């Protein structure tokens, strides 16, 4: 145990480890706040769809050999979020079908582009790293950390500023519309914020695991709490603790960062599932 603590202290002395902890905590915080809303609106799978769009955009950016891929991936993912919202409102194409079409199509196109225009000899390794998280998170620069901090401040600020309206749109969209709230604008705002968080989270957990980061803390909190504000706060705490613990465990155990964080989230969910079961029986 003492050796492990000494090893952890050694790792924490390196700037790149501190950068990972800062970015991971901020992404987990933003993801959990959005996760509660997406789960309640029965639109939690949007995270998976948009993450695949981000993967496709990343593949195109790599093929174009862009120096700053985020400036390309972010607008494409935001546009996809807007189109997904509009398509989901079409009675001919339901929301779940739109997400499935976008998800599968983007994933296929992304892999095809990487295969045909790869800048690396190890295409399978690049794809696996992008889908499940990569060691790139361990090479974060100070500039990237500050960009993540800025985007997180914007996301949290918007969420807090429009909290009451987001609450109304989440629980009863028809009532919110009747009271004069422009529900379309706030749904659009939520879609854009979700896209921003997903792009930030890609390097941490990978495209295929982002949905877990969004959904599991929210579901865990909902198992034992039934108050909206309480669920959001507790979900944020759980998400941050799981992300921090997952990063520490991945460093000490030399395991993939993203998969380790998700594994911790799953374990916490099962604990809360059992707690919820016993609480509801009493």
Max Cα–Cα distance, the chain, nearest Å: 62
Closest by alpha carbon to 216, among 236, 198, 245?
236
| Other C-beta atoms lying within 10 Å of the C-beta of residue 197 | 26
* CB-count exposure of residue 128 (10 Å: 0-12, 13-18, 19+): middle
C-alpha angle 239-245-249 in degrees, rounded to nearest 5: 145
pLDDT in tens, the chain (282 residues): 666 677 767 767 777 778 888 888 888 888 888 888 888 877 767 777 788 888 788 888 877 777 677 788 888 888 888 877 665 555 455 556 767 777 778 778 777 877 777 665 555 555 555 655 555 556 677 787 888 888 889 888 988 888 888 888 888 778 888 888 888 888 888 888 888 888 887 766 666 677 788 889 999 999 888 888 889 999 999 999 998 898 888 878 777 777 888 899 999 999 999 988 777 676
> Hey, what are 223's tokens?
């198992």
3-state SS, residue 134: coil
Q: How far apart are CA 15 and CA 20, in angstroms?
A: 9
The DSSP call for residue 14 is: S
Helices of type H across the chain = 2-12, 15-40, 46-63, 70-88, 95-116, 123-132, 142-161, 163-171, 173-178, 183-205, 210-224, 228-253, 257-281
The DSSP call for residue 241 is: H
> Hey, what are 245's tokens?
């613990």
Which residues are CB-neighbours of 252 under 8 A, at least 6 positions away? 4, 7, 8, 11
Q: How far apart are CA 114 and CA 174, in angstroms?
A: 44
Q: How far apart are CA 140 and CA 66, in angstroms?
A: 18
What pTM does this model have?
0.82
Q: How far apart are CA 131 and CA 57, in angstroms?
A: 13
């Amino acid at each position: 145990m003492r050796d492990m603590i000494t090893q952890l202290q050694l790792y924490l002395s390196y700037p790149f480890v501190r950068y990972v902890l800062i970015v991971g905590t901020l992404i987990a915080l933003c993801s959990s706040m959005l996760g509660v809303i997406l789960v309640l609106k029965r639109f939690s799978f949007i995270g998976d769809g948009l993450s695949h769009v981000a993967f496709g955009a990343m593949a195109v950016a790599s093929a174009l050999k862009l120096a700053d891929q985020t400036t390309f991936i972010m607008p494409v993912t935001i546009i996809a979020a807007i189109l997904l919202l509009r398509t989901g409102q079409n009675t001919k194409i339901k929301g779940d079908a739109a997400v499935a079409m976008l998800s599968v199509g983007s994933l296929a196109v992304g892999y095809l582009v990487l295969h045909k225009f790869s800048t690396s000899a190890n295409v399978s390794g690049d794809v696996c790293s992008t889908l499940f998280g990569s060691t790139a998170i361990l090479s974060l620069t100070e500039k990237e950390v500050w960009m993540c901090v800025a985007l997180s401040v914007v996301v949290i600020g918007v969420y807090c500023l429009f909290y009451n309206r987001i609450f109304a749109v989440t629980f009863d969209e028809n009532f919110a519309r009747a009271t004069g709230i422009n529900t379309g604008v706030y749904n659009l705002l939520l879609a854009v914020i979700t896209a921003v968080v997903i792009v930030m989270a890609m390097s941490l957990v990978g495209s295929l695991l982002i949905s877990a980061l969004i959904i599991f803390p929210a579901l865990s909190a909902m198992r034992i709490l039934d108050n909206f504000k309480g669920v959001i706060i507790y979900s944020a705490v759980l998400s941050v603790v799981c992300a921090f613990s997952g990063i520490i465990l991945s460093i000490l155990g030399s395991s993939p960062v993203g998969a380790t964080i998700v594994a911790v989230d799953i374990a916490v969910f099962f604990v809360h599932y059992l707690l919820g079961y016993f609480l509801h029986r009493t």
